Each structure stands twice: as C-alpha cells, then as structure tokens.
Structure 1
C-alpha cells in the first residue's frame, strides 16, 4: 500500500544531477561557512599587515646611519583598499539574488586576486624605503642601504588568497545560500497577515439583533439611524 503523504522532490544541482534536499542544504551551509570565515579572515590579515613594517634599512648621513622603515600602507595602498571592497562584497552577496549575486561574488574574487598580486609585487619594491631614506637624510637622491623585507608582505598575500578563495566558493555555491531579502519579506508578510485579519471586523461592523432589542427597551426607535 503506497503512502498518501507526498515525498519531497530532490533538488537539481548545478550540473543537473538530482540531489536530496538534506545534503543540498548541508553542502550550502558548509560552503557558506568557508566563504564567510575565509573572507573575513583574509580581509583582517590584509588590513593588519597594511599597518605593519614591510621593509627597513638605514639612511647614510654624515654623522652615521639612521634607521628607516616603511609600512605596508606606505609601500602600496592597493591591498588594504581591495580588502575593504571585498568585505563589502562579502556582505552584499547575502543581500542580492540570482545574477546579481554571482556578479558580486565575482567582484569578491577579483578583490582577493588583486590584493594577492599587489602584495607579491610590492615585496621587492624599494621606492618607498628610498623615499623614507631621502626624507631622513635631507638628500633628495639618497637611497636606503642594508635593506631587508619582513614577513608581513607574505601575510598580506595570504589574506588576499583567502579573499580569492571566498570569492571562488561564492561564485560556485552562492546559488544555494539563503538571502537576507527573502527572509525579511517572509517575516514582513507573516507579521502583516494577523493585523489584516484583526482589522477586517472593524470596517465591516453590522448591528446585531440584540442591539435592536436593547434600543427598544430604552424607548428608542432603532430605525432612526437607517
């Protein structure tokens, strides 16, 4: 004897393969957690590294050398700016749907790739340190000597890679993620229905028979109001 209770239909994955709703939701939660944690951590690493010393050296002067150093923000402002845009894109992924969601996810991936490349290119860039040496020595053509690079450019590159990973995961899996707009609309509709149901009797008020009898007992003519 077959059951009369309808069974939930399996959802189709991106390649058309039928996937049960349970595993599909579980996979969506996992990918969402990977994108969120990777994006937030990656942006935090890039922004943290931007304020740390990337290169240091010394500027030659008549009385001896003066130590100079430059931060990541002085070497290049690109990774920090892209990290902020990436964070905004990560939030916006949950506020939009459909094609717009894929576009925003692609922007997140581009921000990560740009931050990664900018950090790698800036690793060997000594122009900012030379400018710091010239400012410290007062000589416009002075260059820094005994230069060295810290590990913070690599930290910034790792942060960019995490942002890129978050963007790629969002592009591939964001279609099965929940959206803030859909949840808000459902909550608003559910809240509005009881209010409508309660207000309906007020507008459709009709005089009841017992009200007519009470009016007659008071010596009033109920037909006067008609």
Structure 2
C-alpha cells in the first residue's frame, strides 16, 4: 500500500505529454509539456489517501479495517479508470488545447501530442498495488495486530506481581500495576501485614473479634 501510494505521487509529477503549439506570426512552434497532474488530479488525491489508509489500518480494529480496505481498493480502481481516460488520443489533444487557451494566446495545436510511457506506467502500477493491497486488507486485516491498548482510556491495568526492583520499574514503564496482587490486598487497596491500612487508606478486612474472657468465680 505504501509503495502504491508513493508511485502515484511520483507519477503525478512526471512528464506525460509533449506537444507543439502553432503561434501566429513568423515564429517557430512553441513546445508544450504536461505532467500527470495536468491531465488528471486523481493519482495525487488517491496517493495521499493511500498513505492515510496505512495509519488508519493500524489505528482501527474490526470491521472499520474492512471499510478502509474497500475504500483503498476502490481508489486504485478509480486511478486506473482515470489514467485510461486521460491518455486517449482525443483526451490528450483536448488537454493540450485547453492548456493553450488558458495561456491567453491564440496558439493552436500544431502536431499530435506524444504520450510518454513512464508516467502512465508508474500510475498504473501504483493503482494496481493499491487495488490488491486494499482487497487483501479487506479480507485479512481484522486478524492483523494493531496498536496496543496501554494508552486507551478504558484499558484496565493488568495484574503482574513484581518480584525484584527491576521488575517493578519494568511493570511501571509498561503501564501495569504491580500491586494488584500484592499480599494482603483484597479490595483494591494494599494492607499491612497486621491487616491495618497504610497512611491515607482504609483496611478492607474486618478486624478479628477478641475472645470473651471468662468471669472469675466469686
């Protein structure tokens, strides 16, 4: 998917069409050059969307990944269609004529525009890569690993007991609470060895009742 998006962005900036404009007067024909972005803006837009889809596949889960894959595959098919339409002989002549009219002169197309092979081939290859990777993501992406849940707001801390000081620091760095299953902790608060609560806390275990002392016989 990254390779396909990069090919589309690179192809949009390459030279696709060369031609000549016949300028009135005793002057030589003026050359004209058109890039892929001059012919169609679809490769550029879909290329940036493909890069965004990569981040979306990492961040999303479940059926959302399937939707992203389908949209990516549809973007690849759209680029193939636009490249085919923009590289036909009639479309090339119209693009050159429109560019000449936009220049504000009276120039006319002197010769048949020539289409370069490298730019359209790069765009077609990038479109096929996006199409195939999008279909693959649609089928397989729900089973792919994604971003961890350690920074999710609703992520519950995992139970892990630290045995050494180094384990304690590693647990804290990983976002775990190493005191969840500490000895004497029964209701979310740690207790001392005698059942008393630490400073600022409350003990959860009930205090043991003292046995009744027998009364002395009078």
Fold conserved between structures, TM > 0.5: yes
1:64-143 to structure 2, matched below 5 A, reads 64-124=28-88, 125-126=91-92, 127-135=94-102, 138-139=105-106, 142-143=108-109
Find 1:167's aligned residue among 131, 134, 148. Answer: 134
**Residue of structure 2 in register with 1:44 after alignment:** 6
**Unpaired segments of 5 or more residues in structure 1?**
1-38, 207-226
- Per the normalisation by structure 1, the TM-score is 0.65
CA deviations on 1:54-112 (whole Å, 9 max, x unpaired) are: 11100012212010011111111011101111221222112111111111111111111
Deviation at 1:128, TM superposition (A): 2.3
1:157 Cα deviation after fit = 1.1
How far apart, CA to CA, are the structure 2 residues paired with 1:114 and 1:90? 18
SS at match of 1:193: coil
Structure whose CA Rg is larger: 2
Contact 2:29–2:110 (Cα < 8 Å) also in 1: no
Select the structure with the greater relative contact order (CA < 8 A; seq sep ≥ 6).
1
The unaligned stretches of length 5 or more in structure 2 are 159-174, 183-188, 200-218
Distance 2:142 2:150 in 1: 15
Q: Could you say what the CA RMSD is over the residues aligned between the two structures, in angstroms?
A: 2.8
> 1:78/1:99 Cα in 2 relative to 1: closer, same or farther (>3 Å)?
same
Give runs of ≥4 in structure 1 deviating > 6 Å: 195-199
- Contact 1:130–1:144 at 8 Å: present in 2 too? no
SS in 2 for 1:64: coil
Among 193, 198, 201, the alignment partner of 1:205 is 198
Q: 1:188 to 1:68 in 2, by over 3 A?
A: farther
TM-score by length of 2: 0.67
Aligned mates of 2:16, 2:136 — CA distance in 1: 30
